[in-house]
Amino acid sequence: MAISTGLLSIADLTPEETQRLIQSAAFLKRRRKSRSLLKGKTVALLFEKPSLRTRVSFEVAMWQLGGYAIYLSPAEVGLGKRESIADVARTLSRFVDAIVARTFAHETVELLAKYGSVPVINGLSDHEHPCQALGDLLTIQEKKGHLKGLRLAYVGDGNNVARSLILGAAAVGMDFAIASPPGYELDKQTLRQAKKLASESGARITTVSEPRRAVAGADVVYTDVWVSMGQEAESEMRRRAFAAYQVDAALLSKAKEGAVFMHPLPGHHGEEIAEGLLDHPQSVVFDQAENRLHIQKAILVRALGGKPA
Ligand code: CP
Ligand code: NVA
């Protein structure tokens, strides 16, 4: 899948496309006044779940590029309830130039892409969060000056964020070590896919159950929530299973000197992150949040055929 037809998974991109997006985003970040690149273009933000960063960064990105974004809340559209996913996709495609979709089931973004005739960008599904991972790679590139040869330690749930991140890291040659409790590991298919990409880029993929083993020698320590949107019924069970997987200053100190701490946010203080960790001198989480804006500008410009930066 070329990005001009959408972005459902980070694996839709070749490693070269990923690098180009990171470079374009860095360029657009330096030159904030690029108002005309998407003049006259319109994007629908079709969301089934809450959002702060994804919604605001896409809306601001479109505005700053001279285009327009329309936010469609779950209650308004009733995706698959008031109207079928296929009919929503076909109708929206007559009005807008791209659809950014945040859905529960990954199949929903796939169906939107199948029936729509405009690019569909995955703004988070239960399976992946490609815009997050691309923004994260931009942040790591900024903080460390390069990506290849670095080691990222992910502590926690083998979820949508972990899935996109491991595939993105493996594609650009970054070692990825993940520590998850039993029953919450990344699925075998994603691990196979990541190992294949890693064998081509020279990266190493390691799965462990002990957080300290993942973090030893890491340049980046990363975690995400224990209970993702849609998993609220499992909250108690998950909190018990993940109790030994909290990232705190002591765990961070086991990483390489100068390692950065990352989290996609929203963060749950006292759960996956110790109180105060976001304010730790090694935390880069708000730069990471800001970079969603810059990477999504690069994604939108490529997907909508604006003059590439
Ligand atoms: N990280 C992220 O996607 O945040 P939101 O859920 O607030 O969009
Ligand atoms: N894994 C989290 C990420 C939120 C940005 C979720 O899906 O809720």
Q: What is the pTM of this model?
A: 0.97
The pLDDT profile of the chain, 309 residues, written as one tens digit per residue, is 677 789 999 999 999 999 999 999 999 999 876 678 999 999 999 999 999 999 999 999 999 999 999 999 988 998 999 999 999 999 999 999 999 999 999 999 999 999 999 999 999 999 999 999 999 999 999 999 999 999 999 999 999 999 999 999 999 999 999 999 999 999 999 999 999 999 999 999 999 999 999 999 999 999 999 999 999 999 999 999 999 999 999 999 999 999 999 999 999 999 999 999 999 999 999 999 999 999 999 999 999 986 554
CATH code, residues 132-289 = 3.40.50.1370
Q: What's the gap in Å between 208 CA and the centre of ligand 2?
A: 22
Tell me whether the omega of the peptide bond preceding residue 130 falls within 30 degrees of 0, making it cis.
Answer: no
Best substitution site from 45, 48, 52, 161 to test ligand 1's pocket, by max atoms within 8 Å of Cβ?
52
Q: Is the domain covering 3-129+291-303 a CATH 3.40.50.2000 domain?
A: no
Are 9 and 37 a contacting pair, CB within 8 Å? no
Ligand 2 closest atom vs CA 124: 7
Average pLDDT, the chain: 96
Relative to the CA of 157, which ligand 2 atom is closest? Answer: 1
Cα dihedral value 129, 131, 132, 137, nearest 10:
130
Neighbour order of strands in the sheet with 175-179: 205-208, 175-179, 151-155, 220-223, 260-262
Same CATH fold assignment for domains 3-129+291-303 and 132-289: yes
Q: Where are the domains of the chain?
A: 3-129+291-303, 132-289
Nearest-atom index, ligand 2, CA of 51: 5
**What is the CA(266)–ligand 1 centre distance, in A?**
7
Give the number of the atom of ligand 2 that is nearest the alpha carbon of residue 161.
1
Helix or strand (DSSP H, E) at 70:
strand 68-72
Name all residues whose Cβ lies below 6 A of ligand 1.
51-54, 124, 132, 264-266
Summarised one tens digit per residue, pLDDT across range 107-150 is 999 999 999 999 999 999 999 999 999 999 999 999 999 999 99
- What residues are in contact with ligand 2 under a 6 Å CB criterion? 124, 159-161, 224-225, 228-229, 264
Give the total residue count for the chain.
309
